[in-house]
Amino acid sequence: MKYKEQSQKYIRLFANCFLTRGVVRSLIIDGFRGGFDFIPNDLCDILSSGEHLRIADLYETYGVENQEVIDEYLDFLFSNEYIFLADDNDKDLFPALEPQWKYPATINNAILDIGPEGAYNLEKALKELDELQCVALQIRVYQKRSMDFLRQLAQLTHELTIEQIEVFLPYNELLDPIELQHLAVQFQKIKGIVLHSAPKSYVIDNDYIKKIVDIVFLEYELTDASHCGIVNLEYFSTNIDHYMESQFYNTCLNRKISLDQFGNIKNCPSQQKSYGHIDRSSFRQALEHPDFKKLWTVKKEQIAVCQVCEFRHICTDCRVYLEEPDNMYSKPAKCSYDPYTASWEN
Ligand code: SF4
Ligand code: SF4
């Protein structure tokens, strides 16, 4: 009984740490520092069993034969700073965070796909995103472009509300890595440049540059929007904002607006349904359509299989590429995780 001397103290989960119970195992998420650990469902149940749980209660409930396991659980939780101990008189001074997610603007992120040159007026689209107070922009280019294109994009977005830009574009010899670094240093809204279809995959490994921008060369070829929708551990997000949003909204499509590579306005570029062309209509008009926000509130608890998955509140979602295309509540087709066996297929 390693914690005998503290046995009258109360176990409190730090308010920034969240539990998600899965069908065979659970997650404990550190929403402040980022990251998570797997924990057994037994431990998740213990930690969820109420706010007034003393160490002594644990020893008593689980008996002498389980004392070693309880000590191991506590060692793990203390060493990772998931829990702390409170006295009788201060145990109620650390309330859990109330689940809520609020955002002051209608749109906070956008994807602009860019295909054939001149397919739509990019400047108009960016100006409208600015009026909507969009802060995060992903641009996916499918045809080779020069440095001038990137320079123009950086200049067009320089004065806008957009705070961070990630650009995917095909590799070509004219995109000189040194010039890309200079551009990113000059226009620090560009946080990521991914050159796909490159001869080999590598990352620009310069400590100074990495603080400003990730410049990545990828052998993988991106030919159109159908490459989107992959669910993978690398894309999971463990911050408080994402965790809270996932309690109420869809973590991919909520507050998103997009253009496909031909300029058609959509919630996401991969969707079939378009809400007009940006040159002849506007983002605001599209947002007024009763169907535009239909998927914004589809949360993981409503989605088959995901609803029992321990990753459901840190996972990105996809509502376009589905296991059952006609069922908007079916599992993302490009997720190979099976929460019933806790294993990834590939
Ligand atoms: S819904 Fe799917 S295809 Fe659309 S942006 Fe999200 S992940 Fe990509
Ligand atoms: S099963 Fe659902 S929640 Fe779990 S990893 Fe796959 S998509 Fe995400």
Domain range for 169: 109-288
User: What pLDDT sits at residue 137?
Assistant: 97
Q: Is the pLDDT of residue 64 over 90?
A: no
For atom 1 of ligand 1, the residue with the nearest CA is 318
Computed over every residue of the chain, the mean pLDDT equals 94
Residue 100 lies inside a defined structural domain of this protein: no
CB of residue 339 inside a 6 A radius of ligand 2 = yes
Domain closes at, from 86, 119, 143: 86
For residues 333 and 326, give the distance between their C-alpha atoms in angstroms, rounded to a whole number.
Answer: 12
For residues 91 and 121, give the distance between their C-alpha atoms in angstroms, rounded to a whole number.
Answer: 59
- In terms of DSSP bridges, do strands 337-338 and 265-266 run parallel, antiparallel, or are they unpaired? unpaired
Return the CATH number at 75.
3.90.930.60
Residue 57 lies inside a defined structural domain of this protein: yes
Q: Hey, what amino acid is at 65?
A: E
Across the range 311-335, mean pLDDT stands at 97
Q: Hey, what amino acid is at 156?
A: L
Question: What 3-state DSSP class applies to 55?
Answer: helix
195 and 46 both lie in a single domain: no
* Residue 309 alpha carbon to ligand 2 centre in Å: 6
Ligand with minimal distance to 298 CA: 1
Residue 129 lies inside a defined structural domain of this protein: yes
151 and 272 both lie in a single domain: yes
Q: How confident is the model at residue 50 (pLDDT cuts 50, 70, 90)?
A: confident
Ligand with minimal distance to 232 CA: 2
Q: Is the pLDDT of residue 268 over 90?
A: yes
Residue from 245, 289, 262 nearest 108 by CA: 245
153 and 281 both lie in a single domain: yes
Across the range 259-278, mean pLDDT stands at 98
Q: How confident is the model at residue 205 (pLDDT cuts 50, 70, 90)?
A: confident
For 138-162, write each residue's pLDDT tens digit. 999 999 999 999 999 999 999 899 9
Atom of ligand 1 nearest to the CA of 256: 5
For residues 81 and 225, give the distance between their C-alpha atoms in angstroms, rounded to a whole number.
Answer: 41
266 contacts 274 by C-beta, under 8 angstroms = yes
Q: Hey, what amino acid is at 11?
A: I
Pocket test for ligand 2, best of 24, 232, 298, 305 (most atoms within 8 A of CB): 305
Q: Is the pLDDT of residue 106 over 80?
A: yes
Q: Is the pLDDT of residue 311 over 80?
A: yes
Helix (H) or strand (E) holding 243: helix 240-248
161 and 207 both lie in a single domain: yes
Across the range 256-263, mean pLDDT stands at 98
User: What pLDDT sits at residue 52?
Assistant: 86
User: What pLDDT sits at residue 340?
Assistant: 98
CA 195 to centroid of chain Cα atoms: 21
15 contacts 96 by C-beta, under 8 angstroms = yes
User: What pLDDT sits at residue 110?
Assistant: 98
For residues 266 and 281, give the distance between their C-alpha atoms in angstroms, rounded to a whole number.
Answer: 12
Q: Which two tokens stand for residue 294?
A: 């239909």
130 and 252 both lie in a single domain: yes
Strands across the sheet containing 36-39: 17-21, 26-30, 36-39
Residue 345 lies inside a defined structural domain of this protein: no
For residues 140 and 168, give the distance between their C-alpha atoms in angstroms, rounded to a whole number.
Answer: 5
CA 249 to centroid of chain Cα atoms: 12
Domain closes at, from 268, 288, 308: 288
Q: How confident is the model at residue 4 (pLDDT cuts 50, 70, 90)?
A: confident
Contacts of 340 (CB under 8 A, 6+ apart): 23, 24, 308
Q: To which residue do tokens 């490009």 refer?
A: 334
Question: What 3-state DSSP class applies to 45?
Answer: helix
> pTM, whole model, 2 decimals?
0.93
Residue 91 lies inside a defined structural domain of this protein: no
Of 55-59, 147-151, 204-208, 214-218, which gets the smallest average pLDDT? 204-208
Residue 169 lies inside a defined structural domain of this protein: yes
Q: Is the pLDDT of residue 1 over 80?
A: no
173 and 237 both lie in a single domain: yes
Residue from 138, 215, 158, 157 nearest 182 by CA: 215
Instruction: Considering only the C-alpha atoms of the chain, give the largest distance between any 2 of them, rounded to a whole number of Å.
Output: 74
CA-based radius of gyration for the chain: 24
Total count of domains within the chain: 2
273 and 158 both lie in a single domain: yes
Q: Which two tokens stand for residue 155?
A: 């200049």
Residue 322 lies inside a defined structural domain of this protein: no
DSSP output for 115-178: -STTSS-HHHHHHHHHHTT--EEEEEE-S---HHHHHHHHHHHTTSS--EEEEEEE--TTS-HH
233 and 117 both lie in a single domain: yes
Q: Is the pLDDT of residue 226 over 90?
A: yes
209 and 272 both lie in a single domain: yes
For atom 4 of ligand 1, the residue with the nearest CA is 268
73 and 183 both lie in a single domain: no
Across the range 164-181, mean pLDDT stands at 92
For residues 280 and 102, give the distance between their C-alpha atoms in angstroms, rounded to a whole number.
Answer: 32
Domain closes at, from 236, 269, 288: 288
77 and 115 both lie in a single domain: no
120 and 57 both lie in a single domain: no
Residue 342 lies inside a defined structural domain of this protein: no
For residues 111 and 126, give the distance between their C-alpha atoms in angstroms, rounded to a whole number.
Answer: 11
40 contacts 26 by C-beta, under 8 angstroms = yes
Atom of ligand 1 nearest to the CA of 317: 7
